Structure 1
Amino acid sequence: MNKYMAEVFGTFWLVLGGCGSAVLAAGFPDIGIGLLGVSLAFGLTVLTMAFAIGHISGCHLNPAVTVGLWAGGRFDTKDVIPYIIAQVIGGVIAGGVLYVIATGQAGFDVVGSGFASNGYGEHSPGQYSMVAALVTEVVMTMMFLIVIMGATDKRAPQGFAPIAIGLCLTLIHLISIPVTNTSVNPARSTGVAVFVGDWAVSQLWLFWV
């Protein structure tokens, strides 16, 4: 598996595992998954993939991470665009698989359910404004990158980076799901938005800026 395919596969798992838990399992509160469960699911996808493909591609799974590492001088310029393309492809494939599964339930409404898409205003879980959503995403993405840069620094304790990064993503979701449904990852947002269309696509810009 080369590094680009690793990014496709890893981002596929992030979107399928994280958004899948939100779309499928969170619809059954009796089994105990809610905001905490969805947050853990996203963190666990990163944790598991860090061990599975970290040695192949670095396990970015996120255009924001790729650009952040490049800006910090820790990633080759020639790989930035191919990584982002691979991540978006992985996210969209996962969105497609999730769409096939979810629509297998009688009466499932992709647009009405939101399909784990990110949004603001009336499409924010807590009805938060565009400004609140933008501030949340910028700050949460910044904190995520700080943790990644610190945890993967050669001076950091070795072997613990996947745990720190996975737990950081879990915490970010616990904070920001009510605001935007939590993106901090344009590939994750795109992967499900293209199957919702409508408002999800029209608001997608905020999660790419």
Structure 2
Amino acid sequence: MQQKIAAEFLGTFWLTFGGCGSAILTAVLAGLGVGYTGIALAFGLAVLTMSYAVGAISGAHFNPAVTIGLWVGRRLPGADVLPYIIAQVAGAMVAAAVLALIASGRPGFEMGTFAANGYGELSPGQYSMLAALVVETVATFFFVFIIMRVTAPGAAAGFAPIAIGLTLTLIHLVAIPVTNASVNPARSTGTALFSGSAYLAQLWLFWLAPLLGAVAGAIVANAVRAR
């Protein structure tokens, strides 16, 4: 269990540091920034690389919604759920703290503008709460569904991290304008803590929607499994 907790902590740290770091440190550079496409790719690459690095230890969840989904899908013992989630949230918080420390040296730095999730006035495209709820739920549904299918018995061995990383990239390409893209309560919590009370007040949605989507995704993934 100690090895699993360490793997989940490091994996979630890398996901938050790499994905949110690309938004906070790079995307803001006029004429040189990576833009939405670069941010989406950064999140996908973070999951892909760490899945290969520690997937054999913990299963490479890096996300409380994934952990809950795999538990519902009978892929994870119930005793592992809480330790995994604690490690994931801690990893995201430490990564967010490191990013805040690095970026605080830039004049006019506002972490929430680029890394925290929000709807309404806090949404990059000024999308409503309903739009945020729908996109986060649907995106997490397919994320967990795909994770369960590409790691199921009979799936092509060794390719799951690639499929999962590309899925997360696609999700961010769709969802960044709506919510800054989360599908990950730990990553949302870590950055919201350093973004101000307005983002913390909306954090409930970025736990509720991914968890609902994850549960539904796991149920459907089990229902359509190959004979």
Q: TM-score range by the shorter chain?
A: over 0.9
Question: Equivalents in 2 of 1:48, 1:115: separation in Å?
Answer: 23
**1:133 aligns to what SS in structure 2?**
helix
Q: Residues of 1 paired with 2:191 and 2:117: CA distance?
A: 9
Provide the residue aligned with 2:93 in structure 1. 92
Residue 122 (1) aligns with residue 121 (2): yes
Does structure 2 retain, via aligned residues, the 8 Å contact 1:87–1:187?
yes
Q: Measure, in 2, the Cα distance between the counterparts of 1:195 and 1:132.
A: 24
Secondary structure of the equivalent of 1:196?
coil
**Given that residues 115 and 192 in structure 1 are in contact (C-alpha distance below 8 angstroms), is that contact kept between their aligned partners in structure 2?**
no
Aligned counterpart, 2:172: 173
Q: How many residues align?
A: 207
Residue 32 of structure 1 deviates from its aligned partner by: 4.9
In structure 2, what is the Cα distance between the partners aligned to 1:121 and 1:104?
A: 29
SS at 1:27 equivalent = coil
Q: Deviations over 1:45-78 (max 9, x none)?
A: 0000001110111110000000000000010000
Structure 1 segments unaligned to the other structure (5+ residues)? none
Q: What residue number does 2:216 align with?
A: none
Equivalent-residue separation in structure 2 for 1:52 and 1:107 (angstroms): 36
Task: Give 3-state SS (helix, strand or coil) of 2:157's partner.
Answer: coil
Gaps of 5+ in 2: 209-227
Contact 2:110 2:195 in 1 (8 A): no
Superposed displacement of residue 196, structure 1: 1.2
Q: How does 1:8-27 map to 2 (within 5 A)?
A: 8-27=9-28
Percent identity, aligned pairs only, is 61
2:155 counterpart of 1:156: yes
Q: Which residue of 1 aligns with 2:46?
A: 45
Tell me the equivalent position of 2:206: 207
TM-score between the two structures when normalised by the length of structure 2: 0.89
CA contact (8 A) 2:11 2:50 kept: yes
Distance 1:126 1:59 in 2: 31
2:36 corresponds to which residue? 35
Aligned partners of 1:32 and 1:100: how far apart in 2?
20
Which residue does 2:219 correspond to in 1? none
Change (3 A) 1:194 1:32: closer
Checking the alignment, whether the CA contact within 8 Å between 2:114 and 2:180 is kept in structure 1 is no
Counterparts of 1:8 and 1:175 in 2: how far apart (Å)?
27
The residue type paired with residue 97 of structure 1 is: V
Q: 1:122 to 1:152 in 2, by over 3 A?
A: same
Give the RMSD, CA atoms, in angstroms. 1.1
- Letter of the structure 1 residue corresponding to residue 129 of structure 2: M
SS in 2 for 1:208: helix
CA distance in 2, matches of 1:43, 1:178: 17
Cα distance in 2, alignment partners of residues 107 and 131 from structure 1:
31
- Counterparts of 1:174 and 1:9 in 2: how far apart (Å)? 25
CA distance in 1, matches of 2:186, 2:126: 23
Q: What is the one-letter code of the residue matched to 1:101?
A: I
Deviation at 1:141, TM superposition (A): 0.2
What is the correspondence of 1:70-89 to structure 2 with a 5 Å cutoff? 70-89=71-90
Measure how far apart 1:115 and its partner are.
4.3
Query: SS where residue 106 of structure 1 aligns?
Result: coil
